[in-house]
Amino acid sequence: GIGSKLLAKMGYKSGQGLGRQNQGLINPIEAHVLPKGKSLDAVLELKKKNKLPDAFKIKKHRKKITIEKQKKIPEQKDIFT
């Protein structure tokens, strides 16, 4: 992606650590998607109780609901044609 292109321009070679003496991180930090509308405290509590739903399932479910809502809306005739 764009990040790897920027790093390559700055002299980074794949498989080496970051930093002047290549002592830094080798693997990228993973991003975790959290549920929308929840505070970090609430998310940590849900994780402790193992009740945190999979964020990807939530996102997929929201997309499915949006598509269903769009199908219910009748198409309006274009007034400009």
DSSP for 9-58 reads HTT--TTSPSSTTS-S--SPPPP----TT--HHHHHHHHHTT----HHHH
**Whole-number pLDDT of residue 12:** 83
Q: Measured in whole angstroms, how far is the alpha carbon of residue 40 from the centre of its chain?
A: 16
Q: Do both 80 and 43 map to the same domain? A: yes
Full-model pTM: 0.32
pLDDT tens by residue, 20-56: 888 888 887 887 777 778 788 877 787 777 766 665 5
Q: Do both 24 and 48 map to the same domain? A: no
Q: Do both 15 and 52 map to the same domain? A: no
**Whole-number pLDDT of residue 54:** 63
Task: Single out the residue of 30, 33, 31, 13 nearest to residue 22, CA to CA.
Answer: 13
pLDDT of 18 over the 70 cut = yes
Q: Do both 41 and 75 map to the same domain? A: yes
Q: Tell me the residue range of the domain where 80 lies.
A: 31-81
Q: Do both 24 and 39 map to the same domain? A: no
> What one-letter code names the amino acid at 42?
A
Looking at residues 43-70, what average pLDDT do you find? 74
Q: Do both 26 and 7 map to the same domain? A: yes
**Number of domains observed in the structure of the chain:** 2
Q: Do both 76 and 39 map to the same domain? A: yes
**Whole-number pLDDT of residue 13:** 83
